[in-house]
Structure 1
Amino acid sequence: MSFPTKQQLYAQFAQADDAVYFASADKQQVYFGFGVEAALNSGDASVVKAWLREQKQPVFGGLPFDKQVTTTSIMAGYFVAPAVVYEVNQAKTWGQPMASWPTITHANQAAIASQHDDTTWVERIEHAITTMQTDVTKQKVVLGRQRQLQLTTTVNEAQLLQDLNTQQPNSYHFVLKHAGELFVSATPERLVQVKAAAFSTAGVAGTIRRSADEVEDQQLADELFNDAKNRLEHAYVVNTIKERLADLVTLNVPTKPTIMKNPQVQHLYTPINGQLTAAVNILDLVTRLHPTPALGGKPLAWAMATIKQLELAPRGLFAAPIGVVLPNGDGEFVVGIRAMLINHQTAHLFAGAGILADSDATQEFAETGLKMLPMMNLLKG
């Protein structure tokens, strides 16, 4: 049997009860998985590590952002070894190939019927800003907000995957379908990749908008690069990564960030790589790195307590480590931002912003709105 086309894989994803899609930012690794060979509901990294050692198939899933209780099966921590996995670029298959493929349909995409935002977010963020202004030991907290959308019908998942590739070609893609829920992330941010004894991660923090005008777009990039607040926020992230991994790896860290450009926003970006210095599982690196200051804050204990206090709902897989682990131990985890959870005709979108003592809460609210655009555009078709 010939290897399936992308359209056939999209159509099968829409038809399957359990499915997963993962693509690296450069699209050199593109995986589709269907069915369940084995699955684990757990947010405990040590439990997941032990379970991973028993799996012969690639495993996909994620750990929750923190230990707050969530009410959904995916968001509380979920990993699956699909019954069959297709790696598109190498035309490689794990498991028994499917005997037939569904007919490709062209059903209409859902539309947004209503939108409910977090109306008190600015007020709560100002509370955090005041705390940092009066206590210099409190340096940064990343605070998120969620938006709830009611849709006119269920989502056309095949079209959603196709639009994800068209609209967000330079992002990581992670889409997990289980128990009637669909978690979608088009994240720019890798947490860590392991290949043989080499690893790669990155510091991503500091954001400004894009412009359709090339000259203005470069001016915005220059403004971001030279902005003291954003450079300080970025330095927090890079220095923390270095501190947390020092005893596990040898590190190569550039002295200055570059600019990462995504369709709606651009970020300060520092690639970090090196060699593992011990027998380390990818989840060891994941648990050391998560949450980076780009997702949590500094000092970490205060930031995590503030997130729990000020955000209205647990994050679950939002801003959490999500990814793939191959049977040989190689793999890649990304950060579940630019994300949404769809359950029937309700979608929950998430976005966060790094809050410092000199932050402007209204401006940060606008930035989180920009970060929701990738998922809003997907739902708008």
Structure 2
Amino acid sequence: MNPAQRNQEAVVSHAEATLVSRSCEIPDVSFRAFLADQNAPRVHWASPDGLELVGGGAAAHLTASGPKRFDSLRDEAEALFADADHEGPEATRPRMLGGLSFDADHEETPPWTGFAAATFVLPRVQLTRGDDATWLTVVEYGPDATVDSAADALDAARESLSELPMMRPSGGSPGVADRHWRTPKREWTAQVERVTERIRSGDLLKVVLATALDLELAEEVDIPDVLERLRRTYPECYRFLVQPTDEAAFFGPPPERLVKRAGRSVETEALAGSMPRGETPEDDADYAESLLESEKLQHEQQLVADTICEQLEQFGDVTARDKRIRKLSNIQHLQTPISATLDGDAHVLSLVEALHPTPAVGGLPLEAALETIRETESFDRGWYASPVGWFDADGNGEFAVGIRSGVAGGKQATLFAGNGIVGDSDPEAEWDELQPKVRPILDELE
């Protein structure tokens, strides 16, 4: 059966199904304990503005592949959300959580078993935290879903929730028994040299080269524990989890918003160019000043900002604000906040499709940069540097860029890092700049 036939069957099944969602406010509960109690698929989303979602099980799935995957997702979502019956606070409205692979032709090979080119889940049971309150939501979806069945399911979920501990003791890190870079330093620096030569020849402006760090863990990884430690260490970042099966989970604390749509309002940013944090306030300020004074980093950042603005202009009026320094726990970046006011009713997935991959994770010109990436990188990016987030029935939603990320399961983990290469990039300096980008997850596993 080809993808078009599968999509048609899915639309037909959605037409025969009913979506009923019911919510209730509950006392605060350990999201970590809740997540640990759920079966796959499991999803988690937390944004710096305070919204946090965690869900288990699937009332419905959306999957898609190939160059038309965004069209398929929008069509299926429209059918799925049609005539949805939701009762509860606005924050608990049904949302699809998940993401997409970096390349549309992605294949589900290890460590990406279970990860389609696009996978979104409508959680069967979900906790939502925001505005100083916590809610429990249950979704019934299918030809037999009714208000009564949803109410019964909510009662059962609330009873199950009451049996969970208010706090779940934090386990220790699994420990790292062995590690190796998929692209060793010598090979990496040779790749950078080849790419800089091509850039200087005039074919390219920028290419983002990535590599992966494979880890053998001393003990099996506990994903809820790792997410909890990331919450404490990187409260200023997004946090996400997409776990389609028990085999592997994709997660991380990315600093970069890809796009947020709320009605006609759109927010995004250009985040490119990095320096480490200093051990003293004086050192930290010196690094920040280096970001502002570096012609190479300023050039790289401006390329990203200009391209994002150009990509959004088809949807409405775009405004780029002044550059600033974005400071994280172990790294600092140049950031340009960008906003837009939509002319029409563009779905957030349409904005994601237009923006992904940004020059911060792909390069410029985009097609030539992507061709260079495929020719140069010796591993499959999978979902690394891809859009991860959520969308709702109205086409609102928010997506982060899946960097500072890793995929893990059992005693195996793979962490990812990439750098923007321009004509005057120094291979040794680029290698050094990679190292802090795997630290967010590596620190919680060691």
Taking the TM superposition and a 5 Å limit, the aligned residue runs for 1:369-380 are: 369-380=435-446
Structure 1 match to 2:137:
94
- Partners in 1 of 2:128 and 2:429 — Cα distance? 42
Which has the larger displacement, 83-92 or 175-184? Answer: 83-92
Q: CA deviation at 1:238?
A: 0.7
1:126 to 182, 193, 197: 193
Partners of 2:189 and 2:369 in 1: how far apart? Answer: 17
Q: How does 1:208-219 map to 2 (within 5 A)?
A: 208-219=275-286
- Structure 1 residue 286, shift from structure 2 partner: 0.4
Matches of 1:60 and 1:4, distance apart in 2: 24
Q: Deviations over 1:3-24 (max 9, x none)?
A: 25352x2122123222111011
Q: Using CA pairs below 8 Å that are at least 6 residues apart, which structure has the higher relative contact order?
A: 1
Please tell me whether Structure 1 or Structure 2 has the larger radius of gyration of its CA atoms.
2
Q: Deviations over 1:198-233 (max 9, x none)?
A: 110001111111113112111110110111000100
1:66 Cα offset (Å): 1.0
2:276 pairs with 1:239: no
Q: 1:29 aligns with which of 43, 47, 51?
A: 51
Give, in whole Å, the separation in 2 of the partners of 1:151 and 1:49.
39
Amino acid at match of 2:99: G
- Alpha-carbon spacing, 1:232–1:106, altered in 2? closer, same or farther (3 Å): closer
The match for 2:120 is 79
Q: Distance in 1 between matches of 2:386 and 2:171?
A: 32
**1:250-276 Cα deviation digits (max 9, x unpaired):** 11212x310000111100001111211
Q: Do the aligned partners of residues 308 and 165 (structure 1) sit closer, same or farther apart at CA in structure 2, a change above 3 Å counting?
A: same
Change (3 A) 1:128 1:6: farther
Tell me what 2:43 maps to: 20
Work out whether residues 254 and 402 of structure 2, in 8 Å CA contact, stay in contact via their aligned partners in 1. yes
Q: 8 Å contact 2:45–2:389 — kept in the other structure?
A: yes
Match of 2:173 in 1: 109
* Aligned position for 1:194: 261
Q: Secondary structure at the match of 2:58?
A: coil
Q: What one-letter code is carried by the residue in structure 1 that aligns with 2:26?
A: F
User: What letter corresponds to residue 10 of structure 1 in structure 2?
Assistant: R
- CA distance in 2 between counterparts of 1:377 and 1:325 reads 31
Q: Which runs of 5 or more residues in structure 2 are unaligned?
A: 1-23, 85-93, 139-152
- Select 1:5's aligned residue among 28, 33, 36: 28
Number of aligned residues:
376
Distance across 2 between alignment mates of 1:310 and 1:214? 39
Q: 2:382 aligns with which of 297, 316, 320?
A: 316
1:165 aligns with 2:231: yes
The 1-side partners of 2:238 and 2:172 are apart by 25
Paired with 1:83 and 1:326, the residues of 2 have a C-alpha distance of 15
**Structure 2 counterparts to residues 132-147 of structure 1, below 5 A:** 132-133=199-200, 135-147=201-213
Opposite residue 13 of structure 1, the aligned amino acid is L
Contact 1:203–1:234 under 8 Å retained in 2? yes
Contact 1:322 1:334 in 2 (8 A): yes
**Contact 2:236–2:328 under 8 Å retained in 1:** yes
Whole-angstrom distance in 1 between the partners of 2:137 and 2:358: 33
Runs of 4+ in 1 over 6 A off after TM superposition: none
Q: Comparing 60-69 with 192-201, which one deviates more in the overlay?
A: 60-69
Determine the structure 2 residue equivalent to 1:50.
75
Considering only aligned residues, what root-mean-square deviation do their CA atoms show, in Å? 1.7
TM-score, normalised relative to structure 2: 0.81
Aligned-pair CA distance for 1:106 = 4.7
| Counterpart Cα distance in 2 of 1:65 and 1:306 | 15
Letter in 2 for 1:242: C
Query: How far is 1:365 from its partner?
Result: 1.2
Take 1:343 and 1:123, find their aligned partners in 2: how far apart are those partners?
32
Question: Deviation digits for residues 7-49 of structure 1, max 9, x if unmatched?
Answer: 2x212212322211101123x2111111110112324111111
Identity, % of aligned pairs?
30
Q: Is the 8 A contact 1:13 1:157 kept in 2?
A: no
Counterpart residue identity of residue 28, structure 2: T
SS at match of 1:88: strand
User: 2:240: which partner in 1?
Assistant: 174
TM-score, normalising length: structure 1: 0.94
- Secondary structure of the corresponding residue to residue 278 of structure 2: coil
Counterpart Cα distance in 1 of 2:359 and 2:430: 17
2:289 maps to 1:289: no
Q: Is the 8 A contact 1:68 1:314 kept in 2?
A: no
Q: Which residue of 2 aligns with 1:67?
A: 104
Q: Whole-Å Cα distance in 2 between the matches of residues 2 and 275 of structure 1?
A: 34
Partners of 1:94 and 1:316 in 2: CA distance: 31
What's the CA shift for 1:130? 1.5
Contact 2:258 2:352 in 1 (8 A): yes
Q: Which moved more, 1:95-104 or 1:335-344?
A: 95-104
Tell me, what secondary structure is at the counterpart of 1:137?
coil
State the Cα deviation string for residues 278-337 of structure 1 (Å, max 9, x = none). 120001100111111111111111100111111122212110111011333321011000
Q: Quick one: distance in 2 between partners of 1:63 and 1:315? A: 12
Which consecutive unaligned segments of at least 5 residues does structure 1 have? none
- Aligned partner letter, 2:58: V
- The one-letter amino acid of 1:143's match is L
Matches within 5 A, 1:220-259: 220-254=287-321, 256-259=322-325
Q: Which AA in structure 1 matches 2:97?
A: F
Q: What SS does the corresponding residue of 1:36 show, helix, strand or coil? A: strand
2:38 partner letter: A
Instruction: For 2:333 and 2:401, locate their aligned partners in 1 and report how far apart those are by CA, in whole Å.
Output: 15
Give the distance between the partners of 2:197 and 2:116, measured in 1 at CA. 32
